[in-house]
Amino acid sequence: MDKARTYTFRPVAACDMCLSKDFGLLGLRLNQQQGKNPKAVPGVAVSVKQCRNCTLIFADPQPVPHSIEDHYGMPPEEYWTHQPFEWTPDYYRHEIAAAKRLLPFQKGMRALDVGVGQGKGMHSLVHAGFEAWGIEPSKAFYDRATQTFDASRIQNKTMEEADFPAGYFDFVMFSAVLEHLFSPSESLRRAVSWIKPGGIIQAEVPASNYLITKLLNRFFALRGTNYVGHISPMHPPFHLYEFGLKSFEENARINGYEVAEFRLKVADTPIIPRPIRPFLDWWMRRSESGMQLHVYLRKPAV
């Protein structure tokens, strides 16, 4: 059973990515796994809304834990229950290769991995020829990462607390991290300040147009409930946001970057019966409704 967590619930005045105040209500999300019949599951629910301007999905009010350790103060084995711990050269290979192409890359460029976690991203950056630094707010995850990497290269701080010189990095990587941060826009603003002109920020985030979530929402509606499958603000993996490409296009004007490249990844859908997966994968590619959005953001050259 999950440990008890204490939250402060903050009303959302404006969309974090585009500052619009025009929201639409999608439904409710419980503070735990909902199963097939959320009405029968005891718990606390928050409203899930979507920005009508940029398609960002978020909770309103936003549940803010009293401590970051309320969410991530657990052994890595408990958090990453479905992911291997062993690093392989393929880990994030394509994403880092795309960033190297966009830079263009020179050996020894500096890179920052935001949310070091198990340390596999830093392994991949070093393997690709970068000098790697990291940020990891969870003490348990930080302790694990510093068994492999020099502790002076990793700050055990939140994104809001971390500090680096302006223009220090060539590349900043948010590998499945931006959706966990309380203010993605503020985190991107800080990242832009830390990279050189022409530098690249890469982010992999849950897509707000994901077909499987829409099908799940329809299933809940047919059962006569107003629950939805979007985000998980009060239970693992603690996703606070889902993004559309327009979320970044609008935010680019606020934080001074440009969208250099993007792609949508279908990703695996284990909850879907195997015989119909090929059709759904085809449709998600055709309709751009895959699970993950990968964006590459460039700080304009001077």
pLDDT digits (tens, 9 = 90+) for 113-162: 999 988 999 999 999 999 999 999 999 999 989 998 999 999 999 999 99
Q: pLDDT tens digits for 3-33?
A: 678 899 999 999 999 999 999 999 999 999 9
Angle, CA of 233, 239 and 243, to the nearest 5°: 120
Q: What is the pLDDT of residue 1?
A: 40
Q: What is the pLDDT of residue 229?
A: 95
CATH 3.40.50.150 fits 71-206+243-298, yes or no: yes
Kindly list the domain boundaries of the chain, sorted by start residue: 7-67+208-242, 71-206+243-298
Q: What is the pLDDT of residue 10?
A: 96
Which residue in 50, 41, 55 sits closest to 234, CA to CA? 41
Which residue in 138, 121, 113 sits closest to 87, CA to CA? 121
User: Which residue ranges in the chain fall short of pLDDT 70?
Assistant: 1-3, 84, 268-271
Peptide bond into 61 cis (omega under 30): yes
Q: What is the pLDDT of residue 3?
A: 60
- pTM recorded for the entire structure: 0.94
**Cβ atoms of 195 and 201 closer than 8 Å:** yes
The residues that bridge with 114 in the sheet, in sequence order, are 135, 174
Q: How far apart are alpha carbons 200 and 157 in whole angstroms?
A: 22
- DSSP characters for 99-111? HHHHTT--TT-EE
Q: What is the pLDDT of residue 272?
A: 74
Q: What is the pLDDT of residue 49?
A: 98
Residue type, 87: W
Token readout for 158 is 């939140």
Token readout for 58 is 């978020």
Residues in the chain: 302
